[in-house]
A and B are shown apart, each in its own frame.
Chain A
Amino acid sequence: MQVLVGLEEELFLLNKMGFLSRFSEILLHRLVKDLSGDRDRLEKARKYLMGIQWEPNPSQIEYVTRPMGFSELEEAVKFSRKLIARAAIRTNQLIYVGSVHPVESNPLPLNGTHVNVSISSNGTPSNKLLAAIYMHIRNHLPEIIAVTANSPIMNGRIHGLGSARMMYSRVLKPSGPVIMRKRPVSFIPWRERSKTRYGVIFRKMKLFKSELVFDPTGDRLKEIAIRGPSTNIPEDIHTTKRSSRVEVRGVDNQATEEYLLDTALIIAGLAYEAAVLVGKGVKIRERKNLQRNRSRAIRHGIEAEFILDGGERVKARDSFLLMMDRIKEYIDSIGSMSSGLREGVPEIIRIGMPEIVDQEKFSKLEEKNRVVATIRLSGGRDGISLTGERFHVTGEVKGLLFPEYSLKFREENGIVRKFDRIEKRYWLLSKEGYIPLMESDDVIKAITPIGHMAKILEKLGES
């Protein structure tokens, strides 16, 4: 059996203070310049990478590896991250390998990892095998989501062990079971016209020509998808049979290469198990409670409780370890694991949560958008005018409430893997300038900007 794995990983670009930097175009321009003058690195890039993709948000960038044996994948991932980080440094930026920016993702932009896996004995997986791999991995998505969820902080607040990306992403819709249907003609809906100009596509009239359908409109933006010419995905119609694969998109970014590679290995192991089951003539059906378990995994991550087919409850970690026991032999035949995933310890637990320093009282007001505030200061203090001069202020002040963030993180060769501390300090923008706020200050009144409009009219009536 030949097992090929390909990875797509989206990355954030940061400035030196840890906030999003919107210059992916300048970074890629730099990267092309660097590669043009470095033959060795260019050859390596050609060997490992299909390319580097744009994302809709200019503070994101995505590298796409070629399909390769698992032994080569580690080198490919390390090389790709380094390559982009090097160009980032040269354009005064850094890369962050997380799924969610702790402050600026609200909820978008979000990053993810796509694991593509293909198994075959002759380089081209059959439709039957593809369908089995898809169904088998899909059945284990709750376990995969639970152990890879890695988006602990969002919008400056703790999100927990669940996957914020899976919860808020617009392009990770739940997948359906796959069906095989024979049809010599395909209909492409009008709204999919950006993917292919054709509305109707005529296929060859082969006796056994069948199509794998997991979404009636051929939408590939699912947490898991079958890719290749045998599907009804409009973008894949003109691809070759050799590109047939299963793409798992419901995986959060893993900060360390060990966790990233082990995640890919587990998915490859499941694919291998599916191939063995097909060989034994086992038909893979959808697990009971799959969607409920999936939702639980998204919400609670490793702390989720799954419902087994018989109705018993099991901890996500135990369910994952049971799965691992079963597929261990297949994993061992592909590669070896080196991260905490062997023991069912997700990266989010291993590397720990960042520390958040917040002024809760003001944070709650901001969350409700009650930012037009009157505050009684607990003591006199210095404010900063618009042009940087100090001014002294005491008593009641009125203005606009907003947070100032400062981030502490570790950077290694242009790569940020984790934020250690997120400090949120509230200020009030008054007519005189900026006034720092303290927890001991009293909030006299706080309304929303639109509420402020209504208040102005009410006061006009009274006067």
Chain B
Amino acid sequence: MSNIETFPELIKLHGLLSVIEDDLADGRAPDERILKRAIKRIRKIRKDENMSLLLTSSIPLSFLLEDEGSEAALKEMRKAIERTIIMSKFRGIRSKIGLNRPTRYVMTYPIEKAAKAFEFIEGIKPVVLTAPHSSPPLQDKRITAIAREIARISGAHLLLSKVSRIFVDYNRYSSRIYPARVFLERVILEKRIKGIIDLHSSNRLEYDVEIGCFSGQTIPRSLLKTLEECLKSNGVKYTKEGRFGGDIVWFHSILPDAWGVQVEISTNARENRVVKALINFVERL
């Protein structure tokens, strides 16, 4: 089995799941033949090692904890397939999110400590700000202060890392099993979060801000335009071409339910302007 053979299977499976979902939404029992066809396609995909890897890496953890037969799980399943389709088309995503093969969830930091290695500040807006590299050493400079300021004024939720990225990098595939990431996944589901803004800073940027959205795969065009308008109106120079994004944006954003964007702020930028622009953006949502 190769990608060429299994990719059409993936597309067909996505179509079949949509039909099953529609049946359930209309209160009908799903057509048995369609269910059988869908199961057959899943088994075919399983034989393709590479596609299995992509599909497994796209499955939300909440889905794996769902009871079998759950209707909510069906939607999650379809979303995972959507994400796999995009990953099959854009090969660069794998390296960006740190997905090595074979895919394994491994904890390299004690769970007792990891459960205390993040801080969540509840907000009122359906937006969550994340700062995965906010803890020293090797932290993103000033990012904690910037994130707190934006969250305080805009009313967005805020998730800050309390462990250095030397130990746990929350913006990589391998950290999905960590309490902070599982918590983020729950917050997005339970608080019906519409958007994730993943904040970073760097001293090696040409522009004040670099926007990462996996070439537009993780944010609707209209929202991206709004973000650009907010940056422009506050005199912030930005580019959309630089940063591609990381695993937080990739894994936790599934359109149309939740969008995600990585914002990399230059340490040389005028901080108050960037903060104001991002507050404006959250407020306009």
A residues engaging B (CB < 8 A)? 15-17, 19, 21-23, 26, 91-93, 103-104, 106, 108, 366, 369, 371-372, 384-388, 398-400, 402-406, 427, 429-431, 433-434, 448-463
Contacts and interface: CB of A to CB of B under 8 A. Distances in A.
B183 interface: yes
Contacts of B39: 454, 457-458
Contacts of A103: 106, 108
Contact of B68 (A93, A449, A459): A459
A106 B169 CA distance: 19
A367 to B, nearest CB: 10
Interface in B39-77: 39, 42-43, 45-46, 52, 55-56, 59, 61, 63-71, 73-74, 77
Contacts of B179: 386-388, 434
Given A388-B116, A402-B105, A427 B55 contact: no
Pick from B38, B107, B183 the residue with the most CB of A within 10 Å. Answer: B107
Pick from A108, A399, A450 the residue with the most CB of B within 10 Å. Answer: A450
B60 to A, nearest CB: 10
Interface residues of B, number: 54
Interface of B: 20, 24, 30, 32, 35-36, 38-39, 42-43, 45-46, 52, 55-56, 59, 61, 63-71, 73-74, 77, 100-102, 104-112, 115-116, 137-138, 164, 166-167, 169, 177, 179, 182-183, 186
B55 A450 contact: yes
A130 to B, nearest CB: 38
A412 B110 CA distance: 24
A387 B55 contact: no
B105 A400 contact: yes
A106 B115 contact: no
B107 A404 contact: yes
B117 to A, nearest CB: 9
A399 B183 CA distance: 15
Contact of A449 (B56, B112, B177): B56
A115 B111 CA distance: 42
Across the A-B interface, the 4 shortest Cβ-Cβ residue pairs: A459-B69, A388-B115, A404-B107, A19-B108
Contacts of A93: 166
Contacts of B38: 457
Contacts of B63: 452
A385 B107 contact: no
Contact of B100 (A108, A388, A452, A461): A108
Contact of A455 (B36, B68, B108, B112): B68
A236 to B, nearest CB: 29
30 contacts: A16-B166, A17-B108, A26-B138, A91-B137, A103-B108, A386-B115, A387-B115, A388-B116, A399-B64, A400-B177, A405-B106, A427-B111, A429-B61, A430-B65, A431-B65, A433-B115, A434-B115, A449-B64, A450-B42, A450-B52, A450-B56, A453-B42, A453-B59, A454-B39, A455-B68, A457-B39, A457-B42, A458-B68, A459-B68, A462-B69
Contact of B138 (A91, A104, A454): A91
Contacts of A463: 69
A420 B110 CA distance: 19
A387 B68 CA distance: 27
A248 B115 CA distance: 47
Given A453-B42, A458-B39, A17 B115 contact: no
B167 A17 contact: yes
Contacts of A455: 68
A431 B70 CA distance: 15
B64 A106 contact: no
A385 B110 contact: no
B183 A387 contact: yes
A106 B45 contact: no
B132 to A, nearest CB: 13
Contacts of A429: 61, 65, 177, 182
B166 A21 contact: yes
A21 B111 CA distance: 19
A430 B65 CA distance: 6
B15 to A, nearest CB: 14
A460 B74 contact: yes
A454 B43 contact: yes
A395 to B, nearest CB: 16
Contact of B112 (A23, A92, A366, A388): A388
B216 to A, nearest CB: 27
Nearest to B31: A461
B30 to A, nearest CB: 6
